[in-house]
Structure 1
Amino acid sequence: MILITGGLGFIGTHTARALLDLGESCVLVQRRAATAVPAVLAAEHGTRLFVEQADLADPAERGRLREIGARHGVTGVVHLAGSAPWPPAPGDPVDAARTALDSLFAVVQAAAEWKAERVVVASTIGVYGGVEATGGPLGEDLPLPMTAGHVIPAFKKVGELLTGHLAAATGLDLVNARISAVWGPFGRPASVFFAAPQLVHAAARGTAPDLSDLYAPAYADQGTDLIYAGDCGTALAMLQLAPRLDHRTYNVASGRVTTNAEIAAALAELAPGTPIDLPPGRAPQAPEDICLDITRLRQDTGYAPRYGTARAVADYLGWLRAGNAR
């Protein structure tokens, strides 16, 4: 039985589906009480899939987490629930930071009590921000700068250091999963980091995409390492279930840069006439697009991405055209 924190969230839903497909049972822990289980999981609900409520940010509910795991006989954990004070909330920022880190501590402490075989902890491609370009995919052993341009990678770096310490101190197999830019069904319709969701949602509506919320303008020949949601869930499931892992940290990614132009070209085939007008080329002085080296993930789990750009765009567009809002 694998416990997934944030289990009914975007990545959690796909991870649960992948674990079920690999023969595992899952218990999904959510901060809010679930009103409905997604249709892609509903067939196993109550037989191999269970949903529980516990708020890891609330000290009074952390005992409930331990009870849930003991009752379900949890053998492994995928920790996807937020461990960073983001988005900002009213109140003392010191308390917010403490709460974020305490949620990680609560999961590790509970997993130690359950004698769980492995805890996979979500990290992010953002930890590579500021790394000097290598001209190729970035590997897990590259030295990371001690600075961060955003609170999420800042806390993920802290979390990675803590998992290293706690693994040695507790004897738990704690694994960091540096997840690249995820897109696909159940994801947010818009991202501030990359344009892919906005482009596909606009094509499904037959309107021009609104890219005004992006942190930087989207140029045609720029992109990032996009991993389709189904591939991300599969990779995390395989990390959780692998009989042996030889490393503490793994990149979870596609291993290539997907440009905005590639997505626009796929949409031109699938949704002719979609008004996508991206500035040509690259932004002046734009940093090099990065992708992550997934050699380690491939070798230790047998993972291989199933979704290239065209297949991912077709799947996502079909999902939205079927009436799904996200």
Structure 2
Amino acid sequence: MILVTGGLGFIGSHVARALLDLGESCLLTRHSAAPRDVPAGAAAERLDMTDRDAFLALGDRYAVTGIVHLASTPLRGTDVVAEMRANTAGLLNAFEAARAWGVRRVCVASTIGVYAGVRGTPLREDAPLPPGVAHPIPAFKRSAEALASAIAGHADFEAVCLRIGAIWGPRGRAESPFFAIPGLVNAAVRGEPYPGKAYAGDGIDALYAPDCGRAIALLQTAETLHHAVYNVGSGLVTTNAEVAAAIEKAVPDAPIELTAGRSPDGPDEDYRLDVTRLRADTGFAPAHDLDGAVAGYVAWLRGRAEGSPRR
């Protein structure tokens, strides 16, 4: 059984579905409110990841063989110290549980944001990371990667860090401050113009959420991994112009308005992740092209609006 902390959240729900599709049983945790929307074949528990005793007690009720640690306290409040403390406690509790339960592998969520300041693309896992981080999220993720490396060197389990790129799709936020894709699709389904300014030439390494979930599931279940850090992305740049073209196929009457060219405040080039390691060790390739992903997300959003069951 694979424990997925945050397994009922955005990325976690897609990881759970992918693990179930691979024939794995899952234990999914959620911090706030009672677990709901639990997929068939999975168990769910409410868990405060900072509560060491509650975390370890899961092992008394479930035979956990692997851990995907996605849960986090959002680092966007005023008390950054408290949030760092909570996230570090949750990470260390996951590692302690792995040791106590005899887990084979712990996958830890990191972010493309750790590459801030790295020049050149594609971004490789072995690229030297510049000192200093301005934003607390990549700052914590860098520290989490360092802790994972140090602890795994003195433990009987693997600790694998996942540098996750721009993820979009079902169960995700309707808008993102980092890229326009989710906002463009949601606005089109509402029949409204995109509320911000999206430049046609701007792009990003974007991965559809179900594909992200499958990539992480494959990393968790692979018989052998040869690295401790993996990029999780498409390996390609998707531009806003390409997204708009896909939306026009799925929502022909969508009022899409893009600004020509590239953002004057954006980077000189669109960064993408090098996913050579991911492909070599898991055989992963995205199952959805852009047209299919946009059409799938549009159908999910419309189904949610109509109150129909959704996968």
When normalised by structure 1's length, the TM-score is 0.90
Shift in Å, 1:148: 2.1
Partner of 1:51: 44
Partner of 1:278: 258
Instruction: Summarize deviations over 1:185-236 as a string: whole Å, max 9, x none.
Output: 000111111111111011111111212xxxxx53111111101000000000
Shift in Å, 1:85: 5.3
Contact kept, 8 Å, 2:202 with 2:270, in 1: the verdict is yes
The yes-or-no answer on 1:201 pairing with 2:190 is no
Partner of 1:22: 22
Partner of 1:73: 63
Residue 251 of structure 1: which of 219, 224, 231 is its match?
231
Residue 115 of structure 1: which of 102, 115, 123 is its match?
102
- For residues 186-225 of structure 1, what are the structure 2 equivalents within 5 Å? 186-211=171-196, 217-225=197-205
Shift in Å, 1:309: 1.2
Contact kept, 8 Å, 1:54 with 1:62, in 2: the verdict is no
Amino acid at match of 1:315: G
Partner of 2:12: 12
Instruction: Summarize deviations over 1:135-168 as a string: whole Å, max 9, x none.
Output: x421111111122232111111111111000100
The yes-or-no answer on 1:238 pairing with 2:218 is yes
Partner of 2:300: 319
Instruction: Summarize deviations over 1:82-118 as a string: whole Å, max 9, x none.
Output: 1x651215x5x43332222111111101111001010
In structure 2, the gaps of 5 or more residues are none
User: Which segment drifts farther, 232-241 or 217-226?
Assistant: 217-226
Contact kept, 8 Å, 2:198 with 2:259, in 1: the verdict is yes
Report sequence identity in percent. Answer: 50
Q: Quote the RMSD (CA, aligned, Å).
A: 1.6
Contact kept, 8 Å, 2:111 with 2:165, in 1: the verdict is yes
Equivalent position SS for 2:108? strand
Query: Is the alpha carbon distance of 1:282 and 1:245 closer, same or farther for their aligned partners in structure 2, counting shifts above 3 Å?
Result: same
Amino acid at match of 1:208: P
Instruction: Summarize deviations over 1:16-37 as a string: whole Å, max 9, x none.
Output: 0000000000000111233522
Contact kept, 8 Å, 1:124 with 1:180, in 2: the verdict is yes
The yes-or-no answer on 1:88 pairing with 2:77 is yes
User: Which segment drifts farther, 100-109 or 140-149?
Assistant: 140-149
Instruction: Summarize deviations over 1:265-285 as a string: whole Å, max 9, x none.
Output: 111122123222111111236
Equivalent position SS for 1:16? helix
Shift in Å, 1:65: 1.3
For 2:110 and 2:160, the matched residues in 1 are separated by 10
- For residues 102-141 of structure 1, what are the structure 2 equivalents within 5 Å? 102-133=89-120, 136-141=121-126
Q: Which runs of 4+ in 1 moved over 3 A?
A: none
Residue 64 of structure 1: which of 51, 54, 66 is its match?
54
Partner of 1:214: none
Equivalent position SS for 1:29? strand
Contact kept, 8 Å, 1:140 with 1:249, in 2: the verdict is yes
For 2:141 and 2:295, the matched residues in 1 are separated by 32
The yes-or-no answer on 1:171 pairing with 2:156 is yes
The yes-or-no answer on 1:305 pairing with 2:286 is yes
User: Which segment drifts farther, 270-279 or 23-32?
Assistant: 270-279
For 2:83 and 2:180, the matched residues in 1 are separated by 30
Partner of 2:36: 36
The yes-or-no answer on 1:263 pairing with 2:243 is yes
